Structure 1
Amino acid sequence: GSLLHTSSNLYILYDPYVKFKLEGKQFYKSKVVYKNLNPRWNESFSHPLRDREHQVEVYDKNRTTDDFMGSCSIDLKNLELYRLAAHYLLLFPIITNQTSFICIFGLLSCQKLRDRLHSAQTQRSLEGTKTQSRTRMWTGLLGVTLVEGQDLPQSGVGDVYVRFRLGEQKYKSHVSLWPNPQWREQFDLNQFEDCQEPLQVEVFSKRGRKGEEQQCFNSVWFIISWTGKCNPFCVVEVSNSRLQTHTMFKTVNPEWNKALAFPIKDIHEVIEVTVMDENGDNFLGKVAVPLLTVKNGQQICLFLKKEDLARTYKGTITLEIDVIYNKVRAGIKTFKPKETKLTEETPKFNKKVLAQNIYRVRRISTAVLYTLQYINSCFQWESTQRSLIAFLIFLVTVWHWELFMLPLFLFVLIGWNYFQLSAGKVTSNQDVVSDLHTTQDASRKGLMDKIHMVQEVVLVVQNVLEELANIGERVKNIFNWSVPFVSCLAGLMLFIAATLLYFIPLRYLVLIWGVNKFTKKLRNPYTIDNNEILDFLKRVPSDVQKVRVQFYIRMGRRGNSQKVSALFAVAQFPSVAEIYPPALFDY
Structure 2
Amino acid sequence: MESSSADDAPASDVDEAGTPTPPLSPKDDCDSASVASSDHGDGASRDGFYANRATAFVDSIKAKYFSKSLRLGSGGGDASSTSTSKKQKVQLWDSVINVVLVEGRNLLAMDDNGFSDPYVRFRLGTEKYKSKNAIKTLNPQWLEQFDLHMYTDQPKVLEITVWDKDFSGKGDFMGRCSIDLSSLEPETTHSVWQELEDGAGSLFLLLTISGSTQGTSCVSDLTAFEATGGSAAREKALRARYGLLHSFYDWDDVGHLVVKVYKAQGLASADLGGKSDPFCVLELVNSRLQTHTEYKTLSPEWNKIFCFKVKDIHSVLELTVYDEDRDKKCEFLGKLAIPLLKIKNGEKKWYGLKDRKLKTRVKGQILLEMSVVYNPIKACVKTFNPKETKFMQLDPKFKRIVFMRNLTRVKNIVVFVIDMGKFLNNCFLWESVPRSLLAFASFMVITYTAELYMLPLVLLLVFFKNLLVLTVAGIQGAGREEEDVNEEDEDDEEDEKDSKTEEKKSLKERLQAVQEATATVQNVLGEVASLGERINNTFNFSVPQLSWLAIIVLLLVTCILYYVPIRYVVMAWGINKFTKKLRSPDVVPNNEVMDFLSRVPDNEEKVMYRELRPAPSAALEAERKKKKKIS
The TM-score normalised by the length of structure 2 is 0.34
Looking at secondary structure, tell me which structure has more strand per residue. 1
The TM-score normalised by the length of structure 1 is 0.37
Looking at secondary structure, tell me which structure has more helix per residue. 2
Larger RCO: Structure 1 or Structure 2 (Cα < 8 Å, ≥ 6 residues apart)?
Answer: 2
